[in-house]
Structure 1
Amino acid sequence: MPITWLTICLSIIVIWQHYNLRRLGAEISECPTKYWWLGGLGGALVAAMPIASAIKTETGWGWTWRGRALQIKS
């Protein structure tokens, strides 16, 4: 998918709205706005966990815990 001006403009608008929501939230809570970008980073990490889980399960890489392989029962 090529990056167009519409994509860039929409991305800027979404990021600006995210910042504005964090700024409004900072007025209510005690979380400073300098950490507004952590919300997006945390969301990306949380979204990556089920994707990694599905990949490990489907490819057969499997899971280990404390050096032991975990098996999925079907």
Structure 2
Amino acid sequence: MAIQQGKTTWRKSSYSLAHGDCVEVASPVRHTIAVRDSKDPQRPSLAFTPENWSAFVAVVNDGSRAL
């Protein structure tokens, strides 16, 4: 799925370092979560369903290693 980069509001984690080496997250269209590299925002972003993104975030927050 192509994500329109110019019309999307991207957010960085509050834990991001000052030099900007992080990922950014946006929800450009309903039912899609997009992720991109902040160092190279012109490259294509990855797209996830909200369910898959929520599962990923839950595992990260839990500290688990297995998905």
TM-score, normalization: structure 2?
Answer: 0.28
More helix by share: 1
Q: Which has the higher strand share?
A: 2
TM-score (norm 1): 0.26
Q: Which structure exhibits the higher relative contact order, with contacts defined as CA atoms closer than 8 Å and separated by 6 or more residues?
A: 2
Q: Which has the larger radius of gyration?
A: 1
